[in-house]
Amino acid sequence: SLAPQAEAAGYSLLAFDSIGSTNSEALDRARQGTPGPLWVVSPHQRSGRGRRGRAWEGPAGNLAASLLLDVTCDPSVAATLGFVAGLAVEQALRISLPALEHGSRLRLKWPNDVLLDGAKLVGILLESEMMMGGRRIVVVGIGINVVAYPENAPYRATSLAASGAHLSAPSLFETLSATWLACHAQWRNGDGLPEIRRQWLTRAAGVGEAVAINTGSEIIRGTFETIDDAGQLIVRQADGSLKTITAGDVHFGAA
Ligand code: BT5
Protein backbone atom coordinates (compact mmCIF):
# COMPACT_ATOMS: atom_id res chain seq x y z
CA SER A 1 0.00 0.00 0.00
CA LEU A 2 1.45 3.26 -1.20
CA ALA A 3 0.20 6.60 0.11
CA PRO A 4 -2.11 8.16 -2.53
CA GLN A 5 0.41 10.99 -3.12
CA ALA A 6 3.09 8.45 -4.07
CA GLU A 7 0.76 6.72 -6.49
CA ALA A 8 -0.20 10.07 -8.00
CA ALA A 9 3.50 10.90 -8.38
CA GLY A 10 3.92 7.78 -10.53
CA TYR A 11 5.60 5.52 -7.98
CA SER A 12 4.95 1.81 -8.37
CA LEU A 13 5.18 -0.91 -5.75
CA LEU A 14 6.26 -4.56 -5.69
CA ALA A 15 5.45 -6.35 -2.43
CA PHE A 16 6.85 -9.74 -1.34
CA ASP A 17 6.01 -11.90 1.70
CA SER A 18 9.66 -12.90 1.94
CA ILE A 19 12.65 -12.05 -0.27
CA GLY A 20 16.43 -12.45 -0.44
CA SER A 21 17.15 -8.73 -0.40
CA THR A 22 14.90 -5.87 -1.52
CA ASN A 23 18.00 -3.99 -2.75
CA SER A 24 19.08 -6.95 -4.90
CA GLU A 25 15.56 -7.28 -6.29
CA ALA A 26 15.42 -3.57 -7.19
CA LEU A 27 18.84 -3.81 -8.89
CA ASP A 28 17.73 -6.92 -10.82
CA ARG A 29 14.53 -5.23 -11.96
CA ALA A 30 16.52 -2.21 -13.14
CA ARG A 31 18.88 -4.48 -15.11
CA GLN A 32 15.80 -6.04 -16.74
CA GLY A 33 14.65 -2.58 -17.82
CA THR A 34 12.07 -1.75 -15.16
CA PRO A 35 11.95 2.04 -14.76
CA GLY A 36 11.95 3.93 -11.48
CA PRO A 37 10.50 5.17 -9.30
CA LEU A 38 9.71 1.73 -7.90
CA TRP A 39 9.42 0.60 -4.29
CA VAL A 40 10.26 -3.03 -3.46
CA VAL A 41 8.94 -3.95 -0.02
CA SER A 42 8.99 -7.01 2.21
CA PRO A 43 8.44 -7.81 5.90
CA HIS A 44 11.23 -10.40 5.74
CA GLN A 45 14.64 -10.78 4.04
CA ARG A 46 16.67 -13.98 3.96
CA SER A 47 19.93 -12.31 2.95
CA GLY A 48 19.58 -8.62 3.71
CA ARG A 49 22.74 -6.60 3.13
CA GLY A 50 24.44 -3.85 5.11
CA ARG A 51 27.40 -1.69 4.09
CA ARG A 52 30.86 -3.16 3.36
CA GLY A 53 29.51 -6.67 2.76
CA ARG A 54 27.93 -6.91 6.19
CA ALA A 55 24.60 -8.63 6.80
CA TRP A 56 21.33 -6.98 7.77
CA GLU A 57 19.28 -9.37 9.86
CA GLY A 58 15.71 -9.45 11.00
CA PRO A 59 12.73 -11.73 11.59
CA ALA A 60 9.42 -11.50 9.73
CA GLY A 61 7.47 -8.43 10.76
CA ASN A 62 10.23 -5.88 10.28
CA LEU A 63 10.27 -3.57 7.26
CA ALA A 64 12.65 -3.82 4.32
CA ALA A 65 11.98 -1.25 1.61
CA SER A 66 14.11 -0.32 -1.40
CA LEU A 67 13.46 2.54 -3.77
CA LEU A 68 14.73 2.34 -7.35
CA LEU A 69 15.31 5.78 -8.84
CA ASP A 70 16.59 6.93 -12.21
CA VAL A 71 19.02 9.79 -11.71
CA THR A 72 20.63 12.34 -14.01
CA CYS A 73 22.59 14.26 -11.38
CA ASP A 74 26.29 13.88 -10.64
CA PRO A 75 27.10 10.62 -8.74
CA SER A 76 28.45 12.62 -5.78
CA VAL A 77 25.10 14.44 -5.59
CA ALA A 78 23.15 11.18 -5.92
CA ALA A 79 25.15 9.85 -2.96
CA THR A 80 23.42 12.40 -0.74
CA LEU A 81 20.06 10.65 -1.25
CA GLY A 82 20.85 8.57 1.83
CA PHE A 83 20.41 11.70 3.96
CA VAL A 84 17.07 12.34 2.27
CA ALA A 85 16.03 8.79 3.17
CA GLY A 86 17.20 9.19 6.79
CA LEU A 87 15.13 12.35 7.19
CA ALA A 88 12.09 10.78 5.50
CA VAL A 89 12.25 7.76 7.82
CA GLU A 90 12.67 9.92 10.90
CA GLN A 91 9.66 12.03 9.86
CA ALA A 92 7.55 8.95 9.14
CA LEU A 93 8.37 7.57 12.60
CA ARG A 94 7.50 10.87 14.29
CA ILE A 95 4.17 11.08 12.44
CA SER A 96 3.31 7.45 13.21
CA LEU A 97 4.46 7.54 16.82
CA PRO A 98 4.10 11.03 18.34
CA ALA A 99 5.33 9.70 21.71
CA LEU A 100 8.83 9.35 20.20
CA GLU A 101 8.97 13.14 19.86
CA HIS A 102 9.52 13.59 23.58
CA GLY A 103 13.11 14.26 24.52
CA SER A 104 14.27 13.87 20.92
CA ARG A 105 14.37 10.10 21.28
CA LEU A 106 14.92 9.75 17.52
CA ARG A 107 18.32 10.86 16.21
CA LEU A 108 20.11 10.59 12.88
CA LYS A 109 23.54 9.01 12.95
CA TRP A 110 26.10 9.65 10.22
CA PRO A 111 26.00 8.57 7.55
CA ASN A 112 22.47 7.21 7.33
CA ASP A 113 21.28 5.41 10.47
CA VAL A 114 18.33 6.36 12.65
CA LEU A 115 18.77 5.81 16.39
CA LEU A 116 16.07 5.40 19.01
CA ASP A 117 17.25 6.18 22.55
CA GLY A 118 20.81 5.90 21.25
CA ALA A 119 20.37 2.41 19.75
CA LYS A 120 20.23 1.50 16.08
CA LEU A 121 16.65 1.23 14.83
CA VAL A 122 17.15 1.84 11.11
CA GLY A 123 19.91 1.07 8.61
CA ILE A 124 20.13 2.54 5.12
CA LEU A 125 22.14 1.18 2.19
CA LEU A 126 22.63 3.22 -0.98
CA GLU A 127 23.74 1.44 -4.15
CA SER A 128 24.15 2.91 -7.62
CA GLU A 129 24.85 1.52 -11.02
CA MET A 130 25.46 2.65 -14.57
CA MET A 131 23.26 0.60 -16.90
CA MET A 132 23.41 -0.07 -20.62
CA GLY A 133 22.59 2.98 -22.71
CA GLY A 134 23.88 5.44 -20.13
CA ARG A 135 20.98 4.93 -17.73
CA ARG A 136 22.03 5.68 -14.16
CA ILE A 137 20.09 4.34 -11.22
CA VAL A 138 20.25 4.55 -7.45
CA VAL A 139 18.68 2.07 -5.04
CA VAL A 140 17.94 3.44 -1.59
CA GLY A 141 17.47 0.51 0.81
CA ILE A 142 15.85 1.06 4.18
CA GLY A 143 15.65 -1.50 6.97
CA ILE A 144 13.50 -0.70 10.03
CA ASN A 145 13.37 -2.89 13.15
CA VAL A 146 9.63 -2.86 13.74
CA VAL A 147 9.23 -6.01 15.85
CA ALA A 148 12.74 -7.27 16.63
CA TYR A 149 16.48 -6.67 16.37
CA PRO A 150 19.52 -8.98 16.43
CA GLU A 151 21.11 -9.44 19.85
CA ASN A 152 24.60 -10.02 18.50
CA ALA A 153 25.27 -6.56 17.02
CA PRO A 154 28.62 -5.01 18.04
CA TYR A 155 26.76 -1.88 19.20
CA ARG A 156 23.35 -1.31 20.72
CA ALA A 157 20.35 -2.04 18.52
CA THR A 158 16.64 -1.77 19.22
CA SER A 159 13.20 -2.20 17.71
CA LEU A 160 10.00 -0.17 17.90
CA ALA A 161 8.31 -3.02 19.81
CA ALA A 162 11.17 -3.16 22.36
CA SER A 163 10.50 0.53 23.03
CA GLY A 164 6.80 -0.09 23.54
CA ALA A 165 5.89 1.37 20.16
CA HIS A 166 3.47 -0.94 18.42
CA LEU A 167 2.95 -0.21 14.79
CA SER A 168 2.51 -2.39 11.73
CA ALA A 169 5.19 -2.39 9.05
CA PRO A 170 2.65 -1.78 6.23
CA SER A 171 1.19 1.32 7.87
CA LEU A 172 4.69 2.66 8.60
CA PHE A 173 5.64 2.09 4.97
CA GLU A 174 2.55 3.93 3.75
CA THR A 175 3.57 6.98 5.78
CA LEU A 176 7.20 6.65 4.65
CA SER A 177 6.22 6.63 0.97
CA ALA A 178 4.59 10.04 1.58
CA THR A 179 7.35 11.62 3.70
CA TRP A 180 9.89 10.44 1.12
CA LEU A 181 8.07 12.50 -1.54
CA ALA A 182 8.22 15.66 0.55
CA CYS A 183 11.90 15.24 1.47
CA HIS A 184 12.87 14.28 -2.08
CA ALA A 185 11.10 17.39 -3.44
CA GLN A 186 13.11 19.56 -1.03
CA TRP A 187 16.29 17.86 -2.14
CA ARG A 188 15.50 18.42 -5.82
CA ASN A 189 14.39 22.03 -5.35
CA GLY A 190 17.40 22.75 -3.18
CA ASP A 191 19.68 21.50 -5.94
CA GLY A 192 21.15 18.74 -3.80
CA LEU A 193 21.93 18.68 -0.14
CA PRO A 194 21.95 22.23 1.37
CA GLU A 195 18.37 22.33 2.73
CA ILE A 196 18.39 18.64 3.64
CA ARG A 197 21.77 19.11 5.31
CA ARG A 198 20.40 21.90 7.52
CA GLN A 199 17.48 19.74 8.67
CA TRP A 200 19.65 16.67 9.07
CA LEU A 201 22.04 18.55 11.38
CA THR A 202 19.23 19.70 13.68
CA ARG A 203 18.26 16.05 14.18
CA ALA A 204 21.75 14.53 14.24
CA ALA A 205 23.37 12.65 17.11
CA GLY A 206 26.77 13.66 18.46
CA VAL A 207 27.37 17.05 16.79
CA GLY A 208 29.99 18.91 18.83
CA GLU A 209 30.92 15.74 20.68
CA ALA A 210 33.86 13.34 20.69
CA VAL A 211 33.79 10.69 17.96
CA ALA A 212 36.02 7.92 16.65
CA ILE A 213 35.55 6.95 13.02
CA ASN A 214 36.76 3.69 11.61
CA THR A 215 37.27 4.29 7.88
CA GLY A 216 38.40 0.73 7.26
CA SER A 217 42.03 1.80 6.87
CA GLU A 218 42.43 3.98 9.97
CA ILE A 219 40.69 5.27 13.08
CA ILE A 220 40.20 9.01 13.22
CA ARG A 221 39.41 10.71 16.53
CA GLY A 222 38.20 14.21 17.21
CA THR A 223 35.12 16.38 17.56
CA PHE A 224 32.19 15.96 15.19
CA GLU A 225 32.00 19.47 13.66
CA THR A 226 29.41 19.18 10.89
CA ILE A 227 28.66 17.59 7.54
CA ASP A 228 29.38 19.39 4.27
CA ASP A 229 27.11 19.75 1.23
CA ALA A 230 28.39 16.45 -0.14
CA GLY A 231 27.34 14.70 3.06
CA GLN A 232 30.92 14.16 4.21
CA LEU A 233 31.70 14.18 7.92
CA ILE A 234 34.00 16.95 9.17
CA VAL A 235 36.04 16.15 12.27
CA ARG A 236 38.26 18.53 14.23
CA GLN A 237 41.33 16.64 15.37
CA ALA A 238 43.30 17.23 18.57
CA ASP A 239 45.84 19.45 16.74
CA GLY A 240 42.98 21.69 15.55
CA SER A 241 43.04 20.55 11.95
CA LEU A 242 39.87 19.56 10.11
CA LYS A 243 39.55 16.15 8.51
CA THR A 244 36.92 15.30 5.88
CA ILE A 245 35.60 11.74 5.94
CA THR A 246 33.68 10.20 3.06
CA ALA A 247 32.83 6.78 4.50
CA GLY A 248 33.22 4.98 7.81
CA ASP A 249 31.64 3.74 11.02
CA VAL A 250 31.15 6.30 13.76
CA HIS A 251 31.54 5.54 17.45
CA PHE A 252 30.45 8.19 19.93
CA GLY A 253 32.60 9.02 22.92
CA ALA A 254 36.35 9.21 23.18
CA ALA A 255 36.93 5.43 23.37
C1 BT5 B 1 23.36 -0.70 7.39
O2 BT5 B 1 24.58 -1.29 7.24
O3 BT5 B 1 22.96 -0.23 8.42
C4 BT5 B 1 22.49 -0.74 6.15
C5 BT5 B 1 21.38 -1.74 6.28
C6 BT5 B 1 20.43 -1.65 5.10
C7 BT5 B 1 19.36 -2.69 5.17
C8 BT5 B 1 18.31 -2.47 4.11
S9 BT5 B 1 16.91 -3.47 4.35
C10 BT5 B 1 16.32 -3.08 2.78
C11 BT5 B 1 17.53 -3.10 1.85
N12 BT5 B 1 17.80 -4.42 1.34
C13 BT5 B 1 19.00 -4.88 1.77
O14 BT5 B 1 19.49 -5.99 1.48
N15 BT5 B 1 19.59 -3.95 2.56
C16 BT5 B 1 18.77 -2.75 2.67
P17 BT5 B 1 25.75 -1.23 8.31
O18 BT5 B 1 25.93 0.16 8.80
O19 BT5 B 1 26.88 -1.90 7.63
O20 BT5 B 1 25.23 -2.08 9.50
C21 BT5 B 1 25.24 -3.51 9.44
C22 BT5 B 1 25.64 -4.02 10.82
O23 BT5 B 1 24.58 -3.75 11.72
C24 BT5 B 1 25.83 -5.53 10.86
O25 BT5 B 1 27.16 -5.87 10.68
C26 BT5 B 1 25.34 -5.90 12.26
O27 BT5 B 1 26.37 -5.75 13.21
C28 BT5 B 1 24.31 -4.85 12.56
N29 BT5 B 1 22.95 -5.26 12.24
C30 BT5 B 1 22.54 -6.26 11.42
N31 BT5 B 1 21.20 -6.31 11.37
C32 BT5 B 1 20.76 -5.32 12.19
C33 BT5 B 1 19.48 -4.87 12.56
N34 BT5 B 1 18.36 -5.42 12.07
N35 BT5 B 1 19.41 -3.84 13.44
C36 BT5 B 1 20.50 -3.25 13.95
N37 BT5 B 1 21.74 -3.63 13.62
C38 BT5 B 1 21.88 -4.65 12.76
Confidence at residue 50, expressed as pLDDT on a 0 to 100 scale: 98
The pair phi, psi for residue 230, each rounded to 5°, is: -95, 0
Q: Ligand 1 mean position to 142 CA, how many Å? A: 9
Closest atom of ligand 1 to 45 CA is: 14
Of 193, 174, 199, nearest to 231 (Cα)?
193
Q: Determine if ligand 1 sits within 6 Å of the CB of residue 158.
A: no
Measuring from atom 21 of ligand 1, which residue has the nearest CA?
Answer: 50
Give me the pLDDT at residue 138, please.
Answer: 98
- How buried is 121 (Cβ within 10 angstroms: 0-12 exposed, 13-18 middle, 19+ buried)? buried
- pLDDT score, position 125: 98
Q: Which ranges of the chain have pLDDT less than 50? A: none
Asked if 119 and 158 touch (Cβ cutoff 8 Å), the reply is yes
Cα–Cα nearest to 64, from 157, 127, 140, 178:
140
CA dihedral in degrees (239, 240, 245, 250; nearest 10)? 80
Q: Which phi and psi (to 5°) does residue 247 adopt?
A: -150, 145
Beta strands 12-15; 38-42: pairing state = parallel
Q: Under a CB-based contact definition with an 8 Å cutoff, are residues 81 and 88 in contact?
A: no
The string of DSSP codes covering 36-63 is: SSEEEEES-BSSEE-GGG-EE---TTSE
Ligand 1 close to Cβ of residue 37 (< 6 A)? no
- Element holding 237 (H helix, E strand): none
pLDDT of residue 189: 87
| Residue of 73, 58, 242 lying closest to 141 (CA atoms) | 58
Domains and CATH numbers, the chain: 4-202 (3.30.930.10), 210-252 (2.30.30.100)
Residue-wise burial string across 70-82, b where 16 or more C-beta atoms lie within 10 A, e elsewhere: eeebeeebbbbbb
**Quick one: pLDDT at residue 255?**
56
Angle between helix 169-189 and helix 81-96 axes, rounded to 10 deg: 130
